[in-house]
Amino acid sequence: MVIKNKKNGPKVISATFVRGLIGEDKILFDTRKQVAFIGRSNVGKSSVINTLAERKSLAKSSSMPGKTREINFFLINDLVYFVDLPGYGYAKMPPKIADKLRKRIIWYFSESGVKPSHVVFIIDSRIGITTIDKEMLEILENENHNVIVVANKSDKLSQSEFVKNIKKIENDLRDYKCIKNIILFSAKTKKGREEVLNILFE
Ligand SMILES: Nc1nc2c(ncn2[C@@H]2O[C@H](COP(=O)(O)OP(=O)(O)OP(=O)(O)O)[C@@H](O)[C@H]2O)c(=O)[nH]1
Ligand SMILES: [Mg+2]
């Protein structure tokens, strides 16, 4: 059930942790749609989920990169699953573990049989699009996913970085047909929250 509050957009009434998968399991699959959250380690995937759901620690976040290792399913309003994926691209992670997590992410997108209604692709708005982000975007592009780019941590941008960084991000992403929206976001200040929820629940 989605209750639309005219002023604040869709309202999250219930949010619960359902299950953590490690890939190769049976995927959680029912008639409800799934929204996947993907991005480099530490960009704030878990924090963005908490902000969207208005819950402090539904998804576990940490200042140490590499926090989320399983594919965690959260049920929102008994209607849609938010799927918190492990991060990729953390240089200090032992290569064996990094490889396992990368395979886990690709398993979700390419082998699990799920076609998420939206993929929320999260970047750090100070850092922008990296080489490894582009590799991941290629996979999403080839499989025709419906991607929303969320440029998180915008509260950390200085005035001068603001315009410059947005322009650079838009320019770097201009050739990806799978990208439907680019939204400046802050899990800290909740900037962009209504905009993202409106797209996910439309
Ligand atoms: N200032 C600021 N800090 C943020 C924001 N979003 C996340 N953080 C911080 O960034 C760190 C990483 O956040 P997580 O949500 O754990 O990041 P993640 O992408 O889930 O990380 P992994 O699970 O390791 O891939 C934490 O210390 C958060 O408090 C934001 O919008 N603004
Ligand atoms: Mg996480």
pLDDT at 2: 47
pLDDT mean over 105-117: 91
Q: How far apart are CA 107 and CA 1, in angstroms?
A: 30
With a 6 Å cutoff on the Cβ, whether 89 touches ligand 1 is no
Q: Which of 19-33, 55-69, 109-123 has maximum average pLDDT?
A: 109-123
**Amino acid 3: pLDDT:** 46
Q: Which helix (H) or strand (E) holds 9?
A: strand 9-11
Cα 121 to ligand 1 centre (Å): 14
83 lines ligand 1 (CB under 6 A): no
- At the topology level of CATH, where does 3-200 sit? Rossmann fold (3.40.50)
Nearest CA to ligand 1 atom 9: 44
Name which residue leads in pLDDT, 27 or 184.
184
51 lines ligand 1 (CB under 6 A): no
User: Which pLDDT does position 49 carry in this prediction?
Assistant: 96
Tell me the CA–centroid distance for residue 61 and ligand 2, in Å. Answer: 5
Mean per-residue pLDDT of the chain = 90
Task: Verify whether ligand 1 is closer than 6 Å to residue 125 (CB atom).
Answer: no
Global pTM?
Answer: 0.94
Q: Is 63 in the pocket of ligand 1 (CB under 6 A)?
A: yes
Interval between CA 84 and ligand 2 midpoint (Å): 7
Ligand 1, residue 66: give the atom nearest the CA.
Answer: 24
C-alpha dihedral over 161, 183, 60, 65, to 10 degrees? -40
Residue 104, CB-side half-sphere exposure with 13 Å CA sphere:
23
Give the whole-angstrom CA distance, residue 129 versus residue 164: 13
What atom in ligand 1 is closest to the CA of residue 189? 31
Give, using CA atoms, the residue closest to atom 2 of ligand 1.
153
Contact between 12 and 76 under an 8 Å Cβ cutoff? The reply is: yes
For the chain, which residues make up each domain, given as ranges?
A: 3-200
**pLDDT, tens digit, 9 for 90 and up, residues 43-99:** 999 999 999 999 999 999 888 888 888 999 999 999 999 999 999 988 888 899 999
Q: Which residues contact 91 (CB under 8 A, 6 or more apart)?
A: none
